[in-house]
């Protein structure tokens, strides 16, 4: 195979020019089932909010992800359900894309690697470039083996107790503590297919010596300014000691076959496949243009349990082929979301599936609550009871204030939004303060869905106070000032539409249109522009009522 024709350069332009293209990725979802709200609250919503904000500012952004079709969990799930894995992958990728749409998560490119020759060839080219340059090690290694299933056990094929935190863990990675493990070190290991205790045998495969790139990794981590503290501390911990060679190939029938005769019957580890898979997505003709050969940046959103792969393995593999420009500039992590104080569990039926809950709950309502309770720095909890209480409080407060304004314009100004030559300082200071805060919380320096949602709540409280304490008392005292402040209130509400767009796009558009504006004018630069506003609309309900309280 030919070497990769690297088209793009990811990272800061050496000349200091503004990035001309942003590629935002979310961890490829495993198509062994639908997305539950724990998934949605994690990288998928975060990447969507960030992408919407940057687009709102006028940036050229592509949000990409793809089905993690070759993941071992696909094989084990299909085996346990006694169904065809290929059919399962196809059905679940369709379901996942449908759930993302229902949640109003706009992915610009979602590819499916299974049967995708372009994806497979790109991964193989990446793999062979490392192999042919001597960057991969051949070594014989102990591995667990189930005699009853005639199966080598790794990742989802085996479970036991984590050797570090003693929680239940799959092979190679403990989701509880984020530590990678050697499956043979699991305590009380069992085969996830048949439940029997495996024996230890050996296989000869290819391994990636991450430790050889430890100094470069240390230097790279020290230059990160936007990574959350827990990720930086985790990475510094990993490079503070020797890093074991990482298995690139495994004896298995599910995955991309290794194209080397000596390793026939083995597949490329899906975690090693993921990074070139992302790069191939970026270079896809659907979203890629040769205009972006120098000034592009890569931003990744992922669960903290995937930190090792994205922030250690992938970056070291880029170092190995001397392609520093392929490094992710930013990585935003999140922790697990709990359901009624317990971890989501598909096998135990403890989950709220996105496709089900979004049948009865509008996406904006769910997105706002998931933002408000987001597991950014530690585990947080979702419960339907708490959601309904918070949702009722939020929607009532927001709609009450907006509807009072609509009534004022209709009753006192015959439906025509009054104009003013200047905005009062109390209105401008409120808008400017919120603008400054949200520019931090929506962007990478302090990216926080929680803080952004709380900022919107605070802005709404200020709107209500402005209406009660300034606008209404002037009605019978000073007609001129009353008209001016009603006009000011139009600016405040139009700013609310723009401020809320990344988290609640449907509400944002509806409010903006109700102020007589066009969706095309919904831009960050138009915060103080209501020149196109004329007659107020008659919309009263900006959030649909939640129909059902059933845990369906």
CA-to-CA distance for 189 and 207, rounded, in angstroms? 23
pLDDT digits (tens, 9 = 90+) for 437-484: 999 999 998 999 999 999 999 999 999 999 999 999 998 888 888 998
Let me know whether 326 and 437 are in one domain: no
DSSP 193-227: TT-PPPEEEEEEEEEE-GGGGHHHHHHHHHT-SSS
Let me know whether 439 and 511 are in one domain: yes
Q: Which of the four pLDDT bands, split at 50, 70 and 90, describes residue 103?
A: very high
Let me know whether 521 and 400 are in one domain: yes
CA-to-CA distance for 44 and 42, rounded, in angstroms? 6
* Sheet containing 109-111: order of strands: 109-111, 61-66, 21-26, 296-303, 330-334
Examine residue 313 and state whether it is found in any structural domain, yes or no.
Answer: yes
Q: What is the CA radius of gyration of the chain?
A: 26
Residues 192-213 have a mean pLDDT of 97
CA-to-CA distance for 209 and 131, rounded, in angstroms? 12
**Residues with Cβ < 8 Å from 15, sequence gap 6 or more?**
none
Examine residue 306 and state whether it is found in any structural domain, yes or no.
Answer: yes
- Model confidence at 552: pLDDT above 50: no
Instruction: Count Cβ atoms below 10 Å from residue 122 Cβ, excluding itself.
Output: 22
CA-to-CA distance for 325 and 424, rounded, in angstroms? 48
pLDDT (0 to 100) of residue 21:
87
pLDDT digits (tens, 9 = 90+) for 250-268: 999 999 999 999 999 999 9
Do 306 and 21 form a contact (C-beta atoms < 8 A)?
Answer: no
CA-to-CA distance for 536 and 542, rounded, in angstroms? 14
Do 296 and 21 form a contact (C-beta atoms < 8 A)?
Answer: yes
Let me know whether 294 and 398 are in one domain: no
Residue (of 356, 302, 291) closest to 9 by Cα position? 291
CA-to-CA distance for 56 and 452, rounded, in angstroms? 15
Residue (of 422, 546, 435) closest to 487 by Cα position? 422
pLDDT (0 to 100) of residue 389:
94
Instruction: Count Cβ atoms below 10 Å from residue 149 Cβ, excluding itself.
Output: 16
Let me know whether 496 and 394 are in one domain: yes
pLDDT digits (tens, 9 = 90+) for 141-167: 999 999 999 999 999 999 999 999 999
Let me know whether 454 and 403 are in one domain: yes
Examine residue 59 and state whether it is found in any structural domain, yes or no.
Answer: yes
Any idea of the CA torsion for 194, 196, 200, 203, to the nearest 10 degrees? 0
Let me know whether 339 and 390 are in one domain: no
CA-to-CA distance for 140 and 95, rounded, in angstroms? 40
Examine residue 438 and state whether it is found in any structural domain, yes or no.
Answer: yes
pTM: 0.93
Let me know whether 129 and 42 are in one domain: yes
Let me know whether 315 and 417 are in one domain: no
Element at 160 (helix H, strand E)? strand 158-161
Examine residue 334 and state whether it is found in any structural domain, yes or no.
Answer: yes
**What's the CATH code of the domain at 442?**
1.10.730.10
Let me know whether 346 and 388 are in one domain: no
Examine residue 407 and state whether it is found in any structural domain, yes or no.
Answer: yes
Examine residue 541 and state whether it is found in any structural domain, yes or no.
Answer: no
Do 382 and 37 form a contact (C-beta atoms < 8 A)?
Answer: yes
Q: Residue for token digits 């070291």?
A: 316
Q: How many CA atoms lie within 13 A of 1 on its CB side?
A: 19
Angle between helices 505-514 and 479-500 (to 10 degrees): 150
Least confident of 205-209, 284-288, 456-460, 518-522: 284-288
Structural domain boundaries enclosing 404: 384-526
Number of domains present in the structure of the chain: 2
**What's the CATH code of the domain at 329?**
3.40.50.620
pLDDT (0 to 100) of residue 542:
85
Examine residue 415 and state whether it is found in any structural domain, yes or no.
Answer: yes
Q: Which of the four pLDDT bands, split at 50, 70 and 90, describes residue 420?
A: confident
CA-to-CA distance for 363 and 506, rounded, in angstroms? 8
Angle between helices 449-466 and 384-412 (to 10 degrees): 40
CA-to-CA distance for 495 and 505, rounded, in angstroms? 13
Let me know whether 393 and 464 are in one domain: yes
Let me know whether 348 and 406 are in one domain: no
Dihedral class, residue 217 (left if φ above 0, else alpha if ψ from -120 to 50, else beta):
alpha
């Amino acid at each position: 195979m030919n070497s990769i024709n690297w088209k793009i350069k990811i990272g800061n332009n050496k000349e200091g020019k503004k990035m001309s293209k942003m590629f935002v990725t979310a961890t490829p979802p495993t198509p062994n089932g639908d997305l539950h709200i724990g998934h949605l609250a994690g990288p998928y919503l975060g990447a969507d909010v960030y992408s919407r904000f940057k687009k709102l500012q006028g940036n050229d952004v592509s949000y990409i992800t793809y089905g993690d079709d070759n993941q071992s969990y696909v094989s084990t799930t299909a085996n346990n359900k006694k169904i065809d894995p290929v059919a399962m992958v196809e059905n679940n990728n369709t379901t996942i894309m449908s759930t993302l749409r229902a949640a109003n998560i706009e992915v610009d490119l979602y590819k499916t690697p299974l049967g995708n020759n372009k994806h497979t060839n790109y991964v193989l080219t990446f793999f062979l470039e490392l192999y042919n340059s001597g960057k991969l090690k051949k070594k014989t290694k102990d591995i667990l083996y189930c005699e009853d299933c005639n199966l080598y056990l790794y990742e989802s094929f085996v479970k036991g107790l984590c050797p570090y935190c003693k929680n239940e863990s799959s092979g190679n990675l403990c989701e509880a503590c984020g530590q990678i493990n050697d499956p043979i070190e699991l305590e009380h290991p069992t085969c996830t297919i048949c439940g029997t205790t495996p024996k230890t045998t050996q296989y000869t495969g290819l391994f990636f010596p991450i430790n050889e790139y430890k100094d470069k990794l240390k230097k790279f981590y020290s230059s990160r300014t936007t990574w959350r503290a827990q990720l930086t501390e985790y990475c510094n911990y990993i490079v503070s000691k020797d890093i074991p060679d990482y298995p690139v190939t495994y004896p298995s029938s599910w995955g991309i076959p290794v194209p080397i005769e000596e390793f026939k019957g083995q597949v490329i580890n899906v975690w090693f496949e993921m990074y070139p898979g992302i790069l191939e997505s970026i270079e896809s003709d659907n979203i890629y243009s040769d205009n972006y050969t120098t000034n592009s940046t890569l931003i990744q959103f992922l669960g903290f349990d995937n930190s090792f792969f994205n922030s250690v393995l992938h970056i070291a593999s880029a170092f190995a082929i001397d392609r520093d420009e392929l490094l992710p500039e930013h990585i935003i992590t999140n922790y697990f979301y709990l359901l009624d104080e317990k971890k989501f569990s598909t096998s135990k039926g403890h989950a709220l599936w996105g496709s089900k809950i979004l049948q009865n709950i509008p996406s904006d309502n769910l997105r706002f609550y998931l933002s408000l309770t987001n597991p950014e720095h530690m585990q947080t909890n979702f419960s339907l009871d708490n959601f309904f209480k918070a949702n009722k409080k939020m929607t009532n407060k927001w709609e009450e204030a907006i509807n009072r304004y609509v009534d004022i314009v209709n009753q006192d100004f015959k439906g025509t939004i009054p104009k003013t030559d200047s905005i009062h300082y109390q209105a401008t200071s409120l808008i400017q303060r919120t603008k400054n805060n949200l520019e931090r919380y929506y962007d990478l320096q302090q990216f926080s869905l929680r803080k952004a949602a709380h900022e919107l709540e605070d802005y709404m409280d200020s709107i209500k106070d402005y209406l009660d304490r300034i606008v209404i008392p002037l009605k019978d005292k000073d007609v001129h000032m009353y008209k001016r402040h009603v006009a000011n209130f139009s600016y405040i509400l139009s700013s609310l539409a723009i401020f809320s767009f990344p988290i609640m796009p449907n509400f944002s558009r509806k409010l903006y249109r109700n102020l007589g504006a066009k969706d095309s004018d919904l831009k960050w630069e138009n915060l103080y522009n209501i020149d196109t506003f004329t007659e107020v609309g008659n919309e009263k309900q900006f959030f649909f009522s939640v129909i059902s309280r059933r845990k369906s």
